[in-house]
Structure 1
Amino acid sequence: MTTGNKTIVTEFIILGFPGLDPAYDGLMAAVFFVLYLIIVGGNLLILVFICYERCLHKPTYFIFCHLAMNDLLFGTVTLPKMISIYWLDDRVVPFGACFAQMYFVHSLGAIHSLILLFMALDRFIAICVPMRYPALITTKTVSIMCGLSWALTFLRMAGILANVLTLSFCSSNTIMQCYCDLVSIANLGSGQDEVKFVMAVAVGNALFSLLVPLSFITFSYISIILVAVLKLSRSRSGERYKALSTCTPQIFITCLYYLPRCFVYLSSYLGFAFGIDFKISLVLLYSLCPAAVNPIIYCLKTKDIKDCILKS
């Protein structure tokens, strides 16, 4: 659409990996398609299995259900379009659809951090103050915490979305990414001061969404190791092993989600420059790989789930 001498952006073009040889488009489509099948199949399996098996109707596994639902939604929001980019060469996204994808991408990412926090809190109370666990961590408590995390995050992200929509988009509409994200969209906005303000609000929101949960998660697992594990005597080595084994899946999931993300943020802050394709690969690593790997971790490293699978 053209107004005066300005062209108003009505759609965006997602490039995906700019440096990728078109000869590999089919391979990329196949990789994304298989990844989507793994995410959908694995997380649906977790949801159905925990709902079906009464022995898994515990607060810990209801938190797992929320994480599986979050992973399933994130994969569904991002991967179908990524597949169509490389399978059908369909790179055009309508203006509204791009902003909708951005909204859900960042909302689900923030909710993911909160769910990891709840998992850490669950293990912290179970191991450090086990006598208080039945009273503090109940199905009702977990339902309220997780429900509020979904509702309040979607509400908070609506404000971030409204802030980005204050920008004018009158020039470039090319997104150097595999899906619509806030940074890529905001950088296309007109007005240097306006873009700086939107980016400052977005960075502040990102730091709040990631660093606050990460700080508590780190504190929880360090406390578990120092207080509940190292103080156990040699005669209670079985309890020490049990305490560590119950935390191993959550620690692995947390590292898989946060370490690549922190690497990207720190490298940007310290001024290290990476190629755009490498940076996109890192973003996809911490965005999509946890959603695919989490169900495998649950099944292989969580004793109750593994035992129920073997019995069924």
Structure 2
Amino acid sequence: MPEDNHSTVTEFILTGFPGLHPEYQGLVSAVLFLVYVLTLTGNVTIVFLFATNRSLHKPMYYIILNLSICDILFSTTTLPKIISKYWFQSETISFTACFVQMYFVHYLGTVNSFILLLMAFDRYVAICHPLRYPIVLKKSTIQILSITAWVIAKTGPLMLVIRAYPLPYCASNIINHCYCDHIGITVLACTDRAPYGFPALVLAMFILLGSLAFIMFSYCSIIIAVLKIANVQGRIKTLSTCSTQLIIISLYYLPRCFVYLASNVGITFSPDLRIVIIMLYSLFPPMINPIIYCLRAKDMRESLWKQFNRRIFTQKAQVPSVSN
């Protein structure tokens, strides 16, 4: 069928977890809602701490701020719709809304990769070139690099949407996923997907593996620099400064690499298991990242504790004294 701007499909249906038994739908939606609430609470807390504590206005925490904002937006883009499917049987999404969601899913995923790359660069300069750190990574520099990441990330996902939107969608309108993404939509087009799928795959690999390559280079350089430290305690202390970032990066990249490698070596997953894995690596890091920050980052932990103590003190001060 030739391509044109006409499509007989006016809306798509999100299946969520296709094999999920109806009696478990309430439980699954409750878990997803809890994940959403925890993600919002944790990341909004990070934003609040940054806004109210000038001691956190350092390059590393500017990067964490950007990551928290990205996590809030990604979770808000994906979770409310799938929760409403199970709570209100609202499984349909309009044609245009699906492409809007697809754009933000890929855009925020790209931003996330760039921010993690920036995080690795921060640790690389701090450990491998400590004397140059105040010069290379000033607050203004991090702000410019962060804004650049948000701006540059728009191009690739926008091109994906521009190329996929006009395709003729005249057959099935069922998307086997919890949200709209490029693969889930374009496989439904009544045309050869190869001219559209291959460039999308190349773009995804370039962003994912390009960022990962630099991150691996950074941490290999860090390990080499740490091994040159004669004092064992000094090695441990130096490595501890990048442990938070390493955990966050591992949570983001390892499951993705596992899925891509498994697909290339012929390991197949059931549709439900595949969706569960994707949802885990998409939604678990945004939920757990704020906990890692507060447990591992000393300044963040102290700021949170000060806010907690200040609130307790304020509440006690507001309690009227009882006169005898």
Task: Bin the TM-score by the shorter chain.
Answer: over 0.9
Q: Which amino acid aligns with 2:54?
A: R
Once the 2 structures are TM-superposed, how far is the Cα of residue 155 of structure 1 from its aligned partner? 2.8
CA deviations over 1:76-125 (Å, ceiling 9, x no partner): 00110011011111100000000000000000001100000000000000
What are the within-5 Å matches in structure 2 for residues 1-312 of structure 1? Answer: 8-192=8-192, 195-227=193-225, 229-234=226-231, 237-312=232-307
Q: TM-score, normalising length from structure 1?
A: 0.95
Instruction: State which structure, 1 or 2, has the greater radius of gyration over its C-alpha atoms.
Output: 2
Is the Cα contact below 8 Å between 1:11 and 1:92 reproduced in 2?
yes
Once the 2 structures are TM-superposed, how far is the Cα of residue 250 of structure 1 from its aligned partner? 0.6
Once the 2 structures are TM-superposed, how far is the Cα of residue 28 of structure 1 from its aligned partner? 1.0
Q: Which amino acid aligns with 2:227?
A: L
Q: Which amino acid aligns with 2:247?
A: F
Is the Cα contact below 8 Å between 1:7 and 1:171 reproduced in 2?
no
Q: Which amino acid aligns with 1:106?
A: H
Aligned-partner Cα distance in 2 for 1:304–1:246: 12
Q: TM-score, normalising length from structure 2?
A: 0.91
Q: Percent identity?
A: 46
Q: Which amino acid aligns with 2:262?
A: S
Q: Which amino acid aligns with 2:196?
A: V
Give the SS at the match of 1:12.
strand
- Structure 1 stretches lacking a partner, 5+ long: 1-5
Q: Show structure 1 runs of 4+ deviating over 6 A.
A: none
Aligned-partner Cα distance in 2 for 1:250–1:221: 10
Kindly report the root-mean-square deviation, in angstroms, between the aligned alpha carbons of the 2 structures. Answer: 1.2
Once the 2 structures are TM-superposed, how far is the Cα of residue 7 of structure 1 from its aligned partner? 6.8
Is the Cα contact below 8 Å between 2:163 and 2:196 reproduced in 1?
yes
CA deviations over 1:190-214 (Å, ceiling 9, x no partner): 112xx11110011011011101110
Is the Cα contact below 8 Å between 1:12 and 1:93 reproduced in 2?
yes
Is the Cα contact below 8 Å between 1:120 and 1:250 reproduced in 2?
yes
- Structure 2 stretches lacking a partner, 5+ long: 1-5, 308-324
CA deviations over 1:27-77 (Å, ceiling 9, x no partner): 011001100001111000001101211111101100000000000000000
Q: Residue in 1 aligned with 2:313?
A: none
